[in-house]
Amino acid sequence: MTAFIELKNITKYFSHVVANQDVSFSIERGEVLALLGENGAGKSTVMKILYGLYRADAGEIFQNGKAAAIHSPRDAMNLGITMIQQHFSLVQAHSVTENIILGNVHGAIDREAADREVAALAAEHGFDIDPRARVGDLAVGVQQKVEILKAIYQKTRLLIMDEPTAVLTPQESDQLMKFVKNFTSQGNSVVFITHKLQEVMAVADRIIVMRNGMVSGNLRKADTDARELSRLMIGRELTNAAQVKTERAGGEVRLALDRVSVSDHGAVPSLADVSFEIHAGEVFGIAGVSGNGQQELCEVICGALTPVSGSIRLDGRAIETLNIHERVKRGIGYVPSNRHRDGLVMNMTMAENMLLKTSFDPRWLKNGFIDRKRLDAVSEKAIADYRIKASGPAAILRTLSGGNQQKVIVAREVDIGEKLIIFDQPTRGLDLGAIDNVHKIIRAERAKGKAILLVSTELTEILGLSDRYTVLYKGRLQGIYDRSALTVEEIGLLMAGYQLKEGGAHG
Amino acid sequence: MIVGLLSRAVLMSTPLLYGSIAEVYAERSGMMVTAIEGIFLIGAWAGFTGSYLTGSLLIGLIWAILGGLLLSALYGWITVFLRQHQVVTGTALNILAVGICAFFQRVIFGVPTTPLTIKPLPQLAVPLLADIPWIGTILFRQNILTYALYLLLPVSIFILYRTSLGLTIRSTGENPEAVDVAGISVVKVRFLTVLLAGIMGGIAGSFYSIGYLGMFADNIIGGRGWIAFAICFLGNWNPKGALIGTVVFGLAEALAIYMQSLGGQSFFPNELFIALPYLLTIILTISRRSYNVPAKLGEPYVKEN
């Protein structure tokens, strides 16, 4: 029997960056297929192609063995394919019913009848939803049910869900799993896009593992285990992991966090009881899937967030109540992960961006005005030292390449961070040469005796640069380890929220 | 006197209601038609010119519709397809419309010594209804465009709130991505509502020239397009609210005209009453507390990929 859906050699570029390369797999009737991979592995992209939101640059899609032309979500829906987006696509101001019937009704709407129909559909699947409720008033978990009902209303036969449990409580997740099993038992198919191993082991029949835009594994759940999946997902090319083996950093304690918690509006804390120390001349790595509290951790140290409890000390002095300016003055540099949003002003010149975070500092002033000569001199020096490809201090930042923009931030923050530099995903989106450059800078600053906090979702980076590291999972540390203490599989399990049963030194 | 005033208020409300319903459709889909002032003006000029040259008010009306359609298509092309800024584009087109109308007015008619006039749309008394005391005179001794509005208002309410098309339009203004994911083209919905606004705006504009003045002047619209634009805001983006808004403004305009006719006998200066609708716009806009703004009003929809 032919597969319900067959993807053949799907390739997709986003302005010359490969998002999918030669992706081929099938989706069978009545199965739960997990699409597993790290962030940026290309899982969502390939499914958005199947749903008609993106157009593939190459490759074919077959349904029941026949070539299917999918140019828009409408085409996909006509083939019985529906996709629930990660951040949903509901109209907050409209009622549940209005959201469900959008695009699926014609002509006049009989509201009462539509409400009744939606109520009946909800009851049939055991969902407790008021059809007349305003979607914006509903909890996220309930909004997801609205999305599911929308798909069922369209009589979908393949339901694609993008990270569906990311927003759910464990109980809601259990309910969702129950629904998925029930839905597929009627001959329908479900694709589960996820990076959570536990979820995959709980619900999937078959698993497609993706890495760097390619399929790195296609396995039946019965034939595999979490370790193998973790290895396939993360890969083993730890080429530069053991490059520099310098002596253990022996400096005094620079930065000390003691049971720091950050609250996210009373809900689950985004950081809970985080304690660690970084010594002078030490790189401390934070591994983990992004969105597990990394940004909060960086911001609480640089002063953008205030902890609800706990203390932060720099060279023995409490800094948790100081504002960002004060912390900048004490020598904390911060290279944020989203450089466009948090680090740079793209329409200003390179020199102005160099000045951005220390503009209050009198050293830039001469007779009350900005000392252009001095600023230009500092910028010229940065251009030379960091080999920034820019026409000069007056170059508009937008005209620089991504790698050179990153060098501008790094130059500025290295200058500011006399004591401590926080690097949050410093190499994301950079090409190999630029990555190598950033790594060199991190090593050089470490050698100068600065304390360095390195946040990265790339394990190779963490293992290649850190003296010690920890894994962040849901705002908590999963123990602190020396560079060579764990295998990649073990780290993968920690990142997925498992605890190590044997061998792992719990910190 | 009261009846006369109210009758005139209904007359003056008519184009404002066309204009504000036009805005309601477009803004509900996320498009501010800031070219509305220019669309009004083109409608007024094309309506007059068409009627004058052919001697047919119907042909004039058709010209007005085409004129409004043309300008709105230009606006829609620039804002929806080229994703340019709506306010900037609209302002530019409004200035363009002033130039176009003045230019072709001179080219076609030269500079006549006496103003060119046409016979405006006649008042039609609706049999039976027109004989109802008070109400008959106020509501049922109007011209055909006003009567068409009596139909357009409930139809618009029905379309926006009781049909699939209306749901799509409203969803497009709130969350275009949801519409896209539901398999409907956001660009198409937005462009079509802008065109619809152009048609209705053209009719609204023609009302000033062929509806009751029977002539065209460069400043014939004098900001009334903007008032229709403001009424859409004040009426909370729904046709019923727009109706209330237009009645208030129509009344203010009628009052201004009435006070002008009194001449020097009035205690208040005339100019105050002429300014009344505009003052009202400012006062009502700043005094409204809660708005129900379409969440993505004015934002171009940029699809990834």
Interface touch B178/A91, C-beta < 8 Å: yes
Band of residue B178 on the pLDDT scale cut at 50, 70, 90: very high
The answer as to whether A355 is a domain residue is: no
Residues ≥6 apart with Cβ < 8 Å to B269:
none
- Residue A110 sits in the same domain as residue A191: yes
Q: What is the CATH number of the domain that holds A22?
A: 3.40.50.300
Interface touch A89/B170, C-beta < 8 Å: no
Alpha carbon dihedral B78, B84, B88, B94, in 10-degree steps, equals 10
Average pLDDT, chain A: 88
Phi-psi region of A425 (alpha: psi -120 to 50; beta: other; left: phi over 0): left
What number is the average pLDDT over the span A485-490?
Answer: 84
CB of A240 within 8 Å of any CB in chain B?
no
Number of structural domains found in chain B: 1
Average pLDDT, chain B: 91
Full residue range of the structural domain in which residue A324 is found: 253-343+416-495
Residues ≥6 apart with Cβ < 8 Å to A40:
none
pLDDT > 90 fraction of chain A, expressed in percent and rounded:
59
User: Residues in chain A, how many?
Assistant: 507
| CA A54 to each of CA A13, A360, A500, B304: distance values in angstroms, whole numbers, following the listed order | 10, 46, 40, 8
Band of residue A506 on the pLDDT scale cut at 50, 70, 90: very low
Whether residue A359 is predicted with pLDDT greater than 50 in this model: the reply is yes
A432 versus A112: the higher-pLDDT residue is A112
Widest CA span of chain A, in angstroms?
82
The answer as to whether B301 is a domain residue is: no
Give the pLDDT confidence score for residue B264 in this predicted structure: 57
Distance CA B173, CA B297 (A): 6
Band of residue B157 on the pLDDT scale cut at 50, 70, 90: very high
Give the pLDDT confidence score for residue A501 in this predicted structure: 64
The answer as to whether B13 is a domain residue is: yes
Interface touch B182/A91, C-beta < 8 Å: no
The answer as to whether A461 is a domain residue is: yes
What number is the average pLDDT over the span B45-71?
Answer: 96
Give the pLDDT confidence score for residue A187 in this predicted structure: 94
For residue A191, the SS3 value is strand
What number is the average pLDDT over the span A475-490?
Answer: 88
Phi-psi region of B172 (alpha: psi -120 to 50; beta: other; left: phi over 0): alpha
The answer as to whether A381 is a domain residue is: no
CB of B141 within 8 Å of any CB in chain A?
no
What number is the average pLDDT over the span A399-420?
Answer: 89
Distance CA A370, CA B216 (A): 58
Beta strands B141-142 and B124-125 are antiparallel
Distance CA A453, CA A458 (A): 14
Render pLDDT for B207-221 as a digit per residue (tens, 0 to 9): 999 998 999 999 999
Interface touch B178/A105, C-beta < 8 Å: no
- Residue A280 sits in the same domain as residue A189: no
Distance CA B155, CA B32 (A): 22
Render pLDDT for A91-148 as a digit per residue (tens, 0 to 9): 999 999 999 999 888 899 999 999 999 999 999 988 889 999 999 888 888 999 999 9
The answer as to whether A274 is a domain residue is: yes
Render pLDDT for B141-154 as a digit per residue (tens, 0 to 9): 999 999 999 999 99
For residue B202, the SS3 value is helix
Q: Point out the residue among B158, B162, B167 whose CB comes nearest to the CB of A102.
A: B167
| CA B141 to each of CA A467, B3, B4: distance values in angstroms, whole numbers, following the listed order | 89, 12, 11
Among A139-153, A392-406, A436-450, the least confident range: A392-406
Whether residue A243 is predicted with pLDDT greater than 60 in this model: the reply is no
Q: What is the CATH number of the domain that holds B38?
A: 1.10.3470
Q: Which two tokens stand for residue A301?
A: 């140290």
- Residue A188 sits in the same domain as residue A264: no
Provide the shortest C-alpha distance from residue A14 to chain B (in Å).
7
Alpha carbon dihedral A291, A294, A296, A302, in 10-degree steps, equals -150
Render pLDDT for B250-276 as a digit per residue (tens, 0 to 9): 998 888 888 777 765 666 776 777 788
Whether residue A503 is predicted with pLDDT greater than 60 in this model: the reply is no
CB of A72 within 8 Å of any CB in chain B?
yes
Give the pLDDT confidence score for residue A366 in this predicted structure: 87
- Residue A317 sits in the same domain as residue A453: yes
Whether residue A495 is predicted with pLDDT greater than 80 in this model: the reply is yes
Give the pLDDT confidence score for residue A240 in this predicted structure: 44
Number of structural domains found in chain A: 2
Interface touch B178/A102, C-beta < 8 Å: yes
Give the pLDDT confidence score for residue A365 in this predicted structure: 87
Nearest to A81 by CA among A96, A94, A69, A98: A69
Interface touch B183/A72, C-beta < 8 Å: yes
What number is the average pLDDT over the span B170-196?
Answer: 95
Band of residue A368 on the pLDDT scale cut at 50, 70, 90: confident
Nearest to B228 by CA among B208, B204, B199: B204
Whether residue A19 is predicted with pLDDT greater than 90 in this model: the reply is no
* Amino acid found at B46: A
Interface touch A54/B305, C-beta < 8 Å: yes
Counting one residue from chain A and one from chain B, the pairs whose CB atoms sit within 8 A come to 78
- Residue A137 sits in the same domain as residue A166: yes
The answer as to whether B57 is a domain residue is: yes
**ipTM for this model:** 0.86
Give the pLDDT confidence score for residue A241 in this predicted structure: 40
Q: Which residue in B165, B181, B189, B304 has the most chain A C-beta atoms within 10 A of its own C-beta, making it the best mutation to test that interface?
A: B181
Provide the shortest C-alpha distance from residue B167 to chain A (in Å).
7
- Residue A121 sits in the same domain as residue A180: yes
Full residue range of the structural domain in which residue B156 is found: 2-287
The answer to whether A45 and A215 have CB atoms below 8 angstroms apart is no
* Residue A252 CB neighbour total at 10 angstroms: 12
Distance CA A64, CA B37 (A): 55
Interface touch A53/B183, C-beta < 8 Å: no
The answer as to whether A406 is a domain residue is: no
Q: Point out the residue among B163, B303, B304 whose CB comes nearest to the CB of A107.
A: B163
Among A181, A202, A234, identify where a domain stops.
A234
Whether residue A186 is predicted with pLDDT greater than 50 in this model: the reply is yes
Nearest to A193 by CA among A295, A66, A51: A51
CB of A107 within 8 Å of any CB in chain B?
yes
The answer as to whether B48 is a domain residue is: yes
Cα angle value A408/A411/A415 (rounded, 5°): 145
Interface touch A53/B167, C-beta < 8 Å: no
Nearest to A427 by CA among A415, A413, A442: A442
Among A197-211, A212-226, A493-507, the least confident range: A493-507
Interface touch A99/B168, C-beta < 8 Å: no
CB of A106 within 8 Å of any CB in chain B?
yes
CB of A261 within 8 Å of any CB in chain B?
no
Render pLDDT for B225-236 as a digit per residue (tens, 0 to 9): 999 999 998 888
The answer as to whether B295 is a domain residue is: no
Question: Phi/psi of residue A462, each to 5°?
Answer: -60, -50
The answer as to whether B293 is a domain residue is: no
Give the pLDDT confidence score for residue A250 in this predicted structure: 63
- Burial tier of A312 (Cβ tally within 10 Å: 0-12, 13-18, 19+): buried
B137 versus B78: the higher-pLDDT residue is B78
The answer as to whether B208 is a domain residue is: yes
Q: Which two tokens stand for residue B83?
A: 């994703």
CB of A57 within 8 Å of any CB in chain B?
no
Nearest to B186 by CA among B201, B172, B165: B172
Whether residue A469 is predicted with pLDDT greater than 80 in this model: the reply is yes
- Residue A293 sits in the same domain as residue A440: yes
A390 versus A236: the higher-pLDDT residue is A390
The answer as to whether B169 is a domain residue is: yes
Among A185, A203, A234, identify where a domain stops.
A234
**Quick one: DSSP state of residue A85?**
-
Give the pLDDT confidence score for residue A138 in this predicted structure: 87
A325 versus A341: the higher-pLDDT residue is A325
Band of residue A268 on the pLDDT scale cut at 50, 70, 90: low
pTM (predicted TM-score): 0.75
The answer as to whether A247 is a domain residue is: no
Provide the shortest C-alpha distance from residue A106 to chain B (in Å).
5
CB of B302 within 8 Å of any CB in chain A?
no
What number is the average pLDDT over the span A204-212?
Answer: 92
The answer as to whether A402 is a domain residue is: no
Give the pLDDT confidence score for residue A196 in this predicted structure: 77
Interface touch A109/B164, C-beta < 8 Å: yes
Provide the shortest C-alpha distance from residue B292 to chain A (in Å).
9
pLDDT > 70 fraction of chain B, expressed in percent and rounded:
96
- Residue A101 sits in the same domain as residue A38: yes
Beta strands A17-27 and A5-14 are antiparallel
The answer as to whether A403 is a domain residue is: no
Band of residue A387 on the pLDDT scale cut at 50, 70, 90: confident
- Burial tier of A291 (Cβ tally within 10 Å: 0-12, 13-18, 19+): middle
